[in-house]
Chains A and B, each alone.
Chain A
Amino acid sequence: MTKHEAKIPFRLLWVFLRRGNRWTLILIIFLMSVAFINMIFVPTLFDGVIKAADDQVVDMSTGHILMLPESGQNQIADAEKAVEQLRSIPGVVGVSSGLALPTTLEYNNIRGNWQIIAIDPDNERMVTKIFEHMIEGSYLREHDLFSIIIGRQIAGGEDVENNAFSFKDAEVGDTVKVSFDGFSEDFKIGGIFYSKFIDTDQKAFITRDVLDKVVPALAGEANRIIVRLDEDVSVESIVNKISAADIDGIAYSWEDAVGLMKSVTKSFVSINILMTLVASLIAAVTIFIVIYIDVSSKRKQIGILRAIGVKPSLIVWSYIFQAIVYALSGILFGTALYFAALVPYFSAFPFVLPIGDARLAFDAVGYVIRLETFIFVSIGAGLIPVLFITRIKLLNAIWGR
């Protein structure tokens, strides 16, 4: 191909885009944009659901690492020492020990079995974010006595999922009788939290101070320690460090600790892969139809170009470039629409799921893969009809048959 020949596809592309039907061009770019949004929206929505589930586990339940007693033990042998050892590990930003107890709670003649956890509120704030999700009252303070905070699923209310098995609209200031292991005491509801993580919303919290005061035998005992790490620290590497160090208890990553969530996440990942494939297929078919119709409608034009002696390869290149321009325009406008409209919308109005609020989670690597796929499919969609038209009988091409 000579230098002046090589310019021909670009010249043709330029005039076809500049002087072709403007509304057709706008429609094609619009359809390409929609096809690209389809390719990125569904996967990022599922990524958002997965991220919401993962974040909820970390923020509302286990932190990044959950320490439980050694096999056969009920408590972590020397919890205070373990907490100090964990705090000394680089990358650890918060450690909170707690004693989870199976209790019976009684309110207005409604009795039920729920788990309460005795915690040090200041330490707990360093690990979980339940304190940010108080819908009534306030979070526990360091030396609160006989104050209890309960999850929304315990407090109940008309629009609460487990209302049938709740206190049916308990409020801050009401009294709840807490009974466990022969001990029974009245607590005032100091706050109600709604983490949107159903497992956490079925729990209640009291301070370590009040437990130590009413049941001195349990003072200093803990059966769970939760750990928060810096965001850029590998959870597995810290779990390995803890396991290798002489620290009481067994360390689990948050993924291993909440096995159910792990399987939910796994299922979502599988669904996401499937949906990505389906979305890619739909996008591919859309792109193919759009470009195929566009190129096929120019059959006569291609025939004339062939008849006057323009090299078929140059004709093919001009339509490939045209398909690339369509694809890039679709990517550009689709991405702009995604970030300017969809992301802000779903940030303001997320999907409300029992595991948490799902927003769109943008993944740069996935985006690049989808972008490449989109361009690749567009080239194929442009190439196939133009190859066909440059190979059919010249007269059929000229006559548009």
Chain B
Amino acid sequence: MAELLVSIQNITKTYDVGEVKIRALRGVSFDVHEGDFLIIRGRNGSGKSTLLRQIGLLDKPNSGEILLEEKKVTHMKEEERRICRLMKIGYIFQEYALIAELTALENILLPALMLEPKKSCEKRAKNLLREFGLEKRMNNLPQQLSGGEQQKVAIARALINNPIIIFADEPTANLDTVAARDVLETFKRLNIEQRYTIVMITHEPEEEKYANRILMLSDGKIV
């Protein structure tokens, strides 16, 4: 049995929009094990992104518990959550979220520079760029890269500190079919060859084939 990495226990999240309360998550529970490539699928508004933000420690649920390597992280102080995000989690945003003024290499290096000197992590960053076929683009700014290339840089940035789990929030939503397939193949390769645990959300049914586990989310509940 693979090791349990993340356990989500009955989490709820409600947003106040003016006087209206939107119950985005209504008691979601599931586990993620080492080596999983889990796709959470659901229609727009089903609560997928909200769920990922809670597990990715970008937001806090109203109730329930999230355990990362059996440690409760839900109510940790912000500084501890930051360290978790830095060292244990690789988060990939739908819109890449690269820093516009940094080159591809500098974007990848930035989280690593929080933990080690540039000399020791630069080679690793360059290896990641080479692995993703971007070695010639390392000195390009995000605006000089295609959408697919930017997303690969974002993936490389998520991997630079060797996280225990990768969360990807609709990483192909802004890409054309070819670039989307390229990104998904990259995830698959990372999962199979390097045993990265990946949790990805999507609303595209055809992307399910890349996963080894699928969860369906509807109206804030696992169905």
Contacts and interface: CB of A to CB of B under 8 A. Distances in A.
Interface in A108-142: none
B157 A308 contact: yes
A304 B97 contact: yes
Interface of B: 53, 58-59, 82-83, 85-87, 91, 93, 97-102, 106, 110-111, 113-114, 116-118, 141, 157, 161
Given A304-B97, A307-B97, A8 B114 contact: yes
A395 B113 contact: no
A301 interface: yes
16 contacts: A4-B118, A7-B113, A7-B118, A11-B106, A11-B113, A18-B101, A19-B100, A19-B102, A304-B98, A305-B99, A307-B93, A307-B97, A308-B86, A309-B86, A309-B111, A310-B111
Interface of A: 3-5, 7-8, 11, 15-16, 18-20, 301, 304-312, 314, 393-395, 398
Contacts of A314: 114
Contacts of B101: 15-16, 18-20
Given A309-B82, A309-B85, A398-B58, A304 B113 contact: no
A307 B58 contact: yes
Contacts of B85: 307-309
B116 A4 contact: yes
Contact of A395 (B53, B102, B141): B53
Given A394-B59, A395-B53, A308 B111 contact: yes
Contact of A308 (B53, B59, B91, B106): B91
Given A4-B116, A310-B111, 7 more contacts: A8-B110, A19-B141, A307-B91, A308-B110, A308-B157, A309-B83, A309-B85
Contact of B99 (A4, A8, A301, A312): A301
Nearest to B83: A309
Contacts of B91: 307-308
Nearest to B50: A395
Contact of B58 (A5, A19, A394): A394
A299 B35 CA distance: 35
A11 B112 CA distance: 14
Contacts of A5: 113-114
Contacts of A8: 110, 113-114
Among A15, A306, A307, max chain B CB count under 10 A is at A307
A310 B117 CA distance: 14
Contacts of A15: 101-102, 106
Of all A-B residue pairs in the complex, the 8 with the closest CB atoms, nearest first, are: A309-B86, A19-B101, A4-B117, A309-B85, A304-B97, A15-B101, A308-B111, A394-B58
Nearest to B112: A4
Contacts of B97: 304, 307, 398
Given A15-B106, A308-B85, A393 B113 contact: no
A10 to B, nearest CB: 11
Among B99, B113, B116, max chain A CB count under 10 A is at B99
Nearest to B117: A4
A312 B58 CA distance: 14
Contacts of B93: 307, 398
B52 to A, nearest CB: 12
B221 to A, nearest CB: 22
Nearest to A390: B78
Contacts of A308: 85-86, 91, 110-111, 157
B74 to A, nearest CB: 15
A395 B111 contact: no
A80 to B, nearest CB: 81
A3 B101 CA distance: 23
Contacts of B100: 19, 301
A4 B85 CA distance: 19
